[in-house]
A = this chain, B = another copy of it.
Amino acid sequence: MVTHKRRQFLLDMIQKQPCLRVSEMAEELDVSEGTIRNDLNALQGEGLVKRVHGGAVVIERSAIGNNSFFTRYDQNLDRKNAIAREAAKLVSDGDSILLDASSTAYCLACALADRKDLRVVTNGFNTANELAKNNSNNVALIGGMVNYSSSSVTGLLSERIIEDLHVQKAFLSCSGFSLERGMTEVHLNEAQLKRKVIHITDQLIALIDSSKFGKEDMTPFAKLENIDKLFTDGEISHEWKERLSMAGIDTVICHHEANATYD
């Protein structure tokens, strides 16, 4: 309770005066610097601020669309950020990568803010926009039919373009995952696009938060053997951990460092 209040207060402080040192905040609130650091990291986990050396800055939410993308984005944000943080380690300056239109991929895009000279292909508006903020990056948005609710494009135009591209790493999410059918997707269009992606990437990296395991949706697009690396979060069950291991899938479990706050 006290901690929650303090964090709200911190948010206010940062908003009003964005050049505070950790030490100043610690003194102001009469707690140790370590606590402030914990708070700042927790707030970062919730996607409310971005840490910078010496403090934190408020995050300005992308201008495009106050639609349902961000409601999806808010769900399980900590898990997604944990996954994004780990997955980001696979990307170096100058890499060519592909991201889908999922909110997890958007988190990854945010986590790549300090990379340079990336060549990015994506079909997500917000992801494209986020990465295009950095002028050294080269961001290609795949064309196609616009889906307002997911802020993405799919369809024939997209698929034909994809065929002519090639990337080192493709980061794909899915709406369901099972050992039998691999990665599955609710929407046919999305799945078709992702199928094509598999053919034009050196590595397929799956970003699958723990809630997706055991669900099977309409359209499968990637079998287990297509997956080069799988990132998931710490909430995954022991059973599934076991199964993935047995299936020989290179799995990374991403724990979020900052514990969830409660009211």
Chain A residues within 8 Å of B, Cβ to Cβ: 1-5, 18-22, 45-48, 52-57, 59-60, 62-67, 69-70, 114, 116, 125-126, 128-129, 131-148, 151, 153, 155, 157-158, 161
5 cross-chain CB contacts under 8 A:
A4-B52, A4-B55, A5-B19, A64-B125, A131-B146
> Cβ of A18: which chain B residues have Cβ within 8 Å of it?
1, 5
Kindly list the 10 A-B residue pairs having the minimum CB-CB distance in the complex, ordered from nearest: A143-B143, A1-B55, A47-B135, A47-B136, A1-B54, A5-B19, A132-B148, A4-B52, A139-B146, A132-B146
Q: Are A144 and B135 in contact (CB under 8 A)?
A: no
> Cβ of A135: which chain B residues have Cβ within 8 Å of it?
46-48, 59-60, 63, 148
C-alpha gap A60/B132 in the complex (Å)? 13
Given A144-B143, A161-B161, answer yes or no on A53-B132 (Cβ-Cβ < 8 Å): no
Q: Are A129 and B65 in contact (CB under 8 A)?
A: yes
**In-complex Cβ contact of A47 among B70, B134, B147, B158 (8 A):** B134
User: Which of A45, A66, A133, A151 has the most chain B CB atoms inside 10 A of its CB?
Assistant: A133
Given A4-B53, A125-B125, A141-B143, answer yes or no on A148-B133 (Cβ-Cβ < 8 Å): yes
Q: Are B54 and A2 in contact (CB under 8 A)?
A: yes
Q: Are B60 and A151 in contact (CB under 8 A)?
A: no
